[in-house]
Amino acid sequence: MAEKSKKKPQDSWSQMSTSDIKASEKFNAGYIDFLNRVKTEREAVAYISEAAGSQGFKELDQVKNFQPGDKLMIKFKSKAAALVVIGQEPLDKGVNMVVSHIDSPRLDLKPHPAYEADGMAMFKTHYYGGIKKYQWLAIPLALHGVVAKKDGRIIDICIGEKESDPVFTIADLLPHLAKDQMEKKMAEAVSGESLNALLGSRPLNTKDDEAIKARLMNILEEQYDIEEDDFTSAELQFVPAFAAREVGLDRSMIAAYGQDDRVSAYASLRAILELEKPKRTALCLFVDKEEIGSSGNTGLQSLLIENVFAQLMHMAGRNDYFSLRQALANSAAISADVNAAVDPNYPEVFEKMNCSFLSRGVVLTKYTGSRGKYDSNDANPEFMARIRKIFDDAGVVWQVGELGKVDIGGGGTVAQYIARYGMEVVDCGVALLGMHSPFEVASKADTYMSYKGYLAFLQNFI
Ligand code: MN
Ligand code: MN
């Protein structure tokens, strides 16, 4: 093919056919609905499992064997999941894998959260992931999560999402009294220990010491069967209470909480739900704990990937250690995660020849990392070339992207924990504005192109 003309439009929209644009609108309506239903990793797993179940995916431990075309799902502690479509080739030839994460930055409740001060009851929080703390002040918050009771029951909590629900909030200091605060460095102006959310203000009985807290504990017991001690075995998260919205007069963008990285989770989910009898086995992994370093038994630093492969190989009757290592090493993966879009309000942190832009397609990120590619998987060029070909052949609009200027900062993804098995892996996902904020912005054209890209990879990589 001849060299691409320099006049070729760079944006996704101009390169999309009418049917692409129509399909994109439908895809994004589903995506907005997903964002509004799913604000925690557990809610993501529930959504994925329901969607996959309705498309014929069966829980792996409920089948005895499988054959090409079979659709399987595995759940890990209700906080991570895997969907598999068995291919025609044997597993030790390798699988095609798309890995996204379903946890997002938020404010977790501490194990002893409730206290009373100055006529108000409050909940103490401990933030999860990399946040700019001031962004969590003066916005409506919803409380999501579970409380595990000593008798084994799990109580689901979701307060603040329905129109009729109350919400929570962390009040910000009024500017009139913020002279000292305003002179502080941004990183120090709001302390982690000041991120305490408003819980109530009405006493139960004015004679009691902690009468406001007492009323709230009564409410928790009556409405949810939760006692104060139960917070010790709970996983409760404050997340923004507002809904996903279309942005711009042209409605070309979506703003919502948690698009890092549920945009990739949703796009890869939609892709694998469409797969029928692929050549190589297709695997979508939806993992937890990426935002705090992929630790824990639902994060990718655990042996989760290895265990999935071992279980599949065992069921295929291939129990030898070497075949398992071969299946892993011969696999290929997309680490599906977001990148930073160039922000016209902060051009100074971007190097525009190598950073990604909103609405210019899904981003292929060869390496991430910081301080000279530290903690990065630096994808092999041979592998990237094959991905470029697959994307171009499938009409996927894509761009390259580094996270920002070399010395400014950086970030990492799960790619490095996938690469350790010897398999090829590259980062590929949507560019966001305001990543890690309560209201991240994505382009509808890009979200759709990420879905097209993941589908093309799962279907066509051999
Ligand atoms: Mn991410
Ligand atoms: Mn992140």
Give tens-digit pLDDT for 295-318: 999 999 999 999 999 999 999 999
pLDDT for 4 beyond 60: no
Confidence of residue 10 (pLDDT cuts 50, 70, 90): confident
Q: Which residue has the tokens 């655990």?
A: 302
Q: What is the pLDDT of residue 23?
A: 97
pLDDT for 7 beyond 70: no
Q: What is the pLDDT averaged over residues 360-381?
A: 91
On whether the CB atoms of residues 90 and 316 are closer than 8 A, the answer is yes
- Estimate the crossing angle of helix 259-274 against helix 41-54, to 10 degrees: 10
What is Dmax (Cα atoms) for the chain?
84
Residues in the chain: 462
Distance 417 CA to ligand 1 centre (A): 14
Q: Which ligand is nearest to the CA of 437?
A: 2
Q: What is the pLDDT of residue 6?
A: 58
Q: Which ligand is nearest to the CA of 336?
A: 1
On whether the CB atoms of residues 79 and 294 are closer than 8 A, the answer is no
The segment(s) of the chain belonging to CATH 3.40.630.10 are 12-104+257-460
| Bridge partner residues of 72 (DSSP) | 58, 84
Q: What is the pLDDT of residue 2?
A: 54
Confidence of residue 349 (pLDDT cuts 50, 70, 90): very high
In one-letter notation, the amino acid at residue 265 is A
Q: What is the pLDDT of residue 217?
A: 94
Q: What is the pLDDT of residue 205?
A: 82
106-240 under CATH 1.20.1440.230, yes or no: no
The segment(s) of the chain belonging to CATH 2.30.250.10 are 106-240
Distance 396 CA to ligand 2 centre (A): 24
Note the pLDDT tens digit of each residue in 152-182.
Answer: 999 999 999 999 999 999 999 999 999 999 9
The CATH superfamily label for domain 12-104+257-460 reads: Zn peptidases (3.40.630.10)
Q: What is the pLDDT averaged over residues 84-107?
A: 98
Task: Name the region of 418 (left: φ>0; alpha: ψ -120 to 50; beta: rest).
Answer: alpha
Q: How many CB atoms lie within 10 A of CB 79?
A: 22
Ligand 2 (ion): residues with CB under 5 Å are 260
On whether the CB atoms of residues 153 and 234 are closer than 8 A, the answer is no
Confidence of residue 370 (pLDDT cuts 50, 70, 90): confident
